[in-house]
Chain A
């Protein structure tokens, strides 16, 4: 072994040494925050340069500065408020109804081995049908209305919640079933003290998945099907050839996604504070 390769090898082993656990860096919170801002600014500058230099056509992509300039007056218009309201309403209604349907059904299917077996193939098949494929059907039945978006959202977001609820029941510690039986817990008490607590974190994950899918479908239904909302506004601005305005709506849809997701994570932490999985996350 030459001296040189020895040296490089040694350097390699040194760089590999400080193996850090997820989320822990040696940096203080202020530095980390500054780095994060720097990364975001860098991405924005990259975007700006790509468009200004003509690498990406400005007939399709607006620069960040243009988007900000357009956003200020646009966000104050009633049309924007209405679009935002329509999208959020479709999202919330669709999500809520799918939760009301999927959680009880999922829990019930989870408790019965027979029901699980009988329904497994059917659920597997139905959930692989991409909900977008049903846009034409929803259009035929309801036209370009919020109802059409609603139907689509329910079909798309029912499955993840249902599967997670089912899976959550399967995760109940078998010994706990025996304890419940030995103490002669009644059905309702078993649900209250045994099934719900152990399934809750899984259901919460399902809810978050469903929330993302719901937003995607809400915007998709508006964009393709013409139901009123942010998606329809994107199409409208594209047809008007007003690219910066179109991008304002695109950015708004992303912000909406981030905000809704953060809100749900916050809610999950609050509701499931007692759960060990949550506690370890908070402690880490």
Chain B
């Protein structure tokens, strides 16, 4: 079935081919059937806000397709992007479990398929299926790991240059390019969004990219970024 956003919607988790590769979704048959009966498959366009920081938790959102930007906001409106969630992640998990307000804002950056489960249904599901409970614990643990990493990166980096270099190295290792002589990255985020990921201004990011290009450490080809001098970028990531 095709949705208005060009997404090939997978209506049933029971027939989803991606299930085995995804941490939360790879459930035993009984749990999967139970999950299937409480979830609502929904398609969202790019730019849709799934939930807002501070809002009472309605439920969880299993990201099936597309990517979602997770951010936190200061009272003056400044935004920090915590991470870009990929398919297979469960969003709004800790808020739904604890009953506290969502700690983050989740906004789609691509057209997305999301399976929504109401909080009460989800809590009942967890009580009945201990395997699912384990998977939730694993997801929460991973998120905790990311949060600690973020505190370390933001709090202990000396400069914006160091943080940007670390981010680029992290991206290249995630997409399997890090072993190549000249790793390539498809830049999916704007300078403004990159600035929000490393806690600096858009102007600083633009200036840093210009400087890295001038020093032949990076090269851009359209929206593709080529790391031409890995050693220099690594050095910048450790020394600032």
Q: Is B a genuine binding partner of A?
A: no
- Show the binding face of A for B, using Cβ within 8 Å: none
Residues of B with Cβ closer than 8 Å to A?
none
